[in-house]
Homo-oligomer: A and B are copies of this chain.
Amino acid sequence: MTTAVDTGLYQRVQQFYAVQMRLLDEGRAEEWADTFTEDGEFGQDRRPAPRQGRAEIGGRLRKAADALAARGVVRRHWLGMLAVEPQPDGTVTTRYYALVIETPAGGQSALHLSTAADDVLVPDGDTFLVRRRYVVHDGWTP
C-alpha cells in the first residue's frame, strides 16, 4: 500500500461519513438506506439481531426519525478517531468512535451516547457503501 493511495482513501472515507451521518440526522431514510449495500447489515451490541438489507435499515430510521421529530429533538452523530485499513479483497475496514448529541427544542444540548464501531466498506466509485456495521454502546449491560 502506498501513501498516495492511503491519503485519498482516508479523506474519501471521512467525507463519506460526513455525508452519511447527515442523512441519518436529517431522517432521510431512503437515502440513508442507499448508503448500505443491498444486503447491508447493521448490528448493535444492545439488539439481539442485526438489521438486514436496505428496507429494514431504512424502515428503522423512518420510525426513529418520526419519533424524534414528534418530540422536537435534534440528534447529531459525530464520528472520530477513525482508522482505515484497505483489505486485499478490495473492501475497506474502518474503526471509529461515535457520539450522539441530542438537543430538545428550546433546550440544552447533551451527550446522549458514546459508542465505538467497526465497518466493512465496499468502494462505489469515489465513495463507499457499508456492507456491515457493528456498534458497541459504552455502558450497555445485557
Question: B-contacting residues of A (Cβ < 8 Å)?
Answer: 3-4, 6-8, 10-12, 14-15, 17-19, 21-22, 74, 76-84, 95-97, 99, 101, 103-114, 116, 126, 138-141
Contacts and interface: CB of A to CB of B under 8 A. Distances in A.
Contact of A111 (B79, B81, B109): B109
How many copies of this kind of chain does the complex include?
3
B83 A80 contact: no
A22 B83 contact: yes
A76 B97 contact: yes
B101 A99 contact: yes
A53 to B, nearest CB: 26
A3 B126 contact: yes
Contacts of A108: 139
